[in-house]
Amino acid sequence: MTVRRIPFWAGAAWLAIGVSACAGGARRVQQPLSEFQLAMARERAGLAQLPTDEPQTTNTQPNERPGRGTTEPRPNFVLPVFEIVGMDALINAAGRRGPEADAYRVNGSSIQSNIEGSWIVDNDPFAVNQMMHPYQGAMYHNIARSAGLNYWQSLGYTFAGSVMWELAGETTTPALNDQLASGIAGTFLGESLFRMANLLVDRSHAHVGFGRGLLVFLASPPTGANRVLFGKRFDGVMATHDPAYDLRVQMGARGTSQNTPGPSLNLGQREAIADLLVEYGLPGRAGYTYTRPFDYFRLDATASSVDIIEKVTSHGVLAGRRYETGEGGGGVWGVYGIYDYLSPQFFRVSTTAVSGGTSFEKWLSGDWLMQVTLLGGVGYAAVQTINGTNDRDYHYGMTPQAVETLRLVIGRRVSFDVSGRQYFVTGVAGFDTPGTDTILRAEVSAAVKVYGRNAVTVRYQTTQRTATFPGFGPQKQSIGTVSLAYTVLGPQRLGAVKRQ
C-alpha cells in the first residue's frame, strides 16, 4: 500500500539465505540412479531399455519421475503459517526504518480500525500495487507449496496471508485491489515460479549443485530457503510427470522503430534487454495429462535498461482436459488463470483474469510443427500513463481480454512466433476512474539455432493504446521496437517433441 524500501540489512539477510541454499545443495552427495533413470538415459542414447519386473506405466505416475524417490513427503500445514507471519514481520520491520515509517507502526488500535472499517480501492504507486503486491502474494503461495501443500491449499494460505497484511501489516486502509493482486494474481505468478524451481530440483537427480541451487532460490526463494532449513525433506513435494517444455533465455539490444508518445514525455531510443520464456507442459509428451492446476503454463518476462521490468506475463491451466486431434496432434482445453504486467515506456497496464481457451499442437508434415494458444476471458485491470500527472494517476476497470500465440517450428532448427494480447479496460468497477482504454500488444519473432543450444532471435514488437476519458477526445499512444538477441535454449531445444 506504500512503497516498501528494503534496507541493506534485510537484503543482506536474503542474500545470505540464498548463498546458504546453494552451498547446502552443493554439499549433498549424488545418489545412485534408479532403474527408471538408467532406462531413460539408455533410451535417450538410443539403447534398449533395461529389463524390469515392474509393469510399465505412463509418465503421469509419481513413481516415474526423474530424480525423485517413489514417495512424496507429507504436507506440513503449520510451517507456512510461521513463515508467512515471519515474512510479513520482516517487511514491516524494514518499513519502520524507511521514509514512510508511520504507515508501518501497527498497533492494536490500527488493527481494530482496519477490521471494523470499509475496504477501499487505493491508488498507491502503480509498480507497488501491480508488481510488488503480486510478487508478495507469489511468496505466500510458494511458502505453502514448498512445504508440500497443493495449489488450492496454497491459494487459501495466499489469500489469508494477503488479508492479514491488509489488516495488520500497515496502518493504512485495507484495499480490495491489493487483495486481488496479492491473493489471486500472486498465485498465478507464484505457481509458475514454483514449478520452475521444482523442475530444477527434479532434474538434478538428487544432486543440487551451487549453480542449480542459485537458480532454484532466484525462481522461488521459499523453496531455496526451506532447502536450507530442512535439507531434502521437501524436495519431492510434487511429481513433475516429466513435462515437455520450451526454455529460452535471451540477451540483446532493442531500438525504437516508431512511436506516438501522446501525453508521455520521455523515450529511450535504445536499450539493453534480457528475456526469459518458459512454456511448460507442451502437449507433445505422450501420456502427459492435465489433472493439476498449471500442468500447462507459459511465463514470459523481460527486463530492460529503460523500464527495468518491461513485461511479466503468466498464464496457466487451472482446470482442463487433454484431447487428441488425430495422428500428430492434440492439446488441452479448459479454464486459465492470467497475470499480466506490461510497461512499454509510455504507459503501463496490468491485469488479473480468468479465461477459457485451449493450447494445442499439430505436426503438419515431416519436421514442421505448429503450436497454438487461444484464450478469451474477463479480468480486472489498471492502466497508467508514464510521465503523466503523477505515479498515482491511473484507471481501473473490468476488462474483457484475449491472448493468442502461434509458433511454427521447422526442422527443430528454426521457429517463427506470432503473439497478440488485447485489453479493453472499461469503466465498470472503476470507482472514481471513469473512461476506457483499448490496448493491443503484438510480437513477431524468428529464432534460428546456430549450434547446440545457441540461437539468434530477431523480434518486432508493437504496443498501441487508445484512451477515452470524459471531457477529452481519444488519446493515442504507440511504440514499435526491433530487437536482436543471443538466445540460450533449454535441453529440449525449441520445444518440439515428437509424439509417441
Q: Do residues 324 and 330 lie in contact, with contact meaning Cβ atoms separated by under 8 Å?
A: yes
Pick the residue with more confidence: 233 or 335? 335
Indicate if the pLDDT at residue 28 is higher than 50: no
Q: Report the phi/psi class of residue 436: left, alpha or beta, with left for phi > 0 and alpha for psi in -120 to 50.
A: beta
Picking from 351-355, 426-430, 440-444, which range would have the lowest pLDDT averaged per residue?
Answer: 426-430
Percentage with pLDDT > 70 across the chain? 82
Percentage with pLDDT > 90 across the chain? 59
Indicate if the pLDDT at residue 141 is higher than 60: yes
Render pLDDT for 467-488 as a digit per residue (tens, 0 to 9): 988 777 788 889 999 999 999 9
CB atoms within 10 A of CB 376: 15
Render pLDDT for 149-190 as a digit per residue (tens, 0 to 9): 999 999 999 999 999 999 999 999 999 999 999 999 999 999
Angle at CA 107, nearest 5°, toward 104 and 111? 90
Q: Which of 52-61, 122-131, 179-188, 219-228 has the highest mean pLDDT?
A: 179-188
Q: What's the pLDDT at 497?
A: 77
Q: Which three cell numbers stand for residue 365?
A: 508434415
List, in order of start, the domains of the chain with CATH numbers. 8-230 (no CATH), 244-489 (2.40.160)
Indicate if the pLDDT at residue 114 is higher than 90: yes
Render pLDDT for 47-63 as a digit per residue (tens, 0 to 9): 333 333 333 334 444 33
Reduce the secondary structure of 398-420 to three states and give it as a string: EEEEEEEEEEEEECCCEEEEEEE
Q: What's the pLDDT at 262?
A: 65
Instruction: Output the average pLDDT for the chain.
Output: 83
pLDDT (average), residues 445-474: 91
Render pLDDT for 253-271 as a digit per residue (tens, 0 to 9): 999 887 776 665 556 678 9
pLDDT band at 394 (very low <50, low <70, confident <90, very high): confident
Backbone angles phi, psi at 477, to 5 degrees: -135, 140
Picking from 6-15, 226-235, 324-333, which range would have the lowest pLDDT averaged per residue?
Answer: 6-15
pLDDT (average), residues 416-429: 94
Q: What is the pTM of this model?
A: 0.84
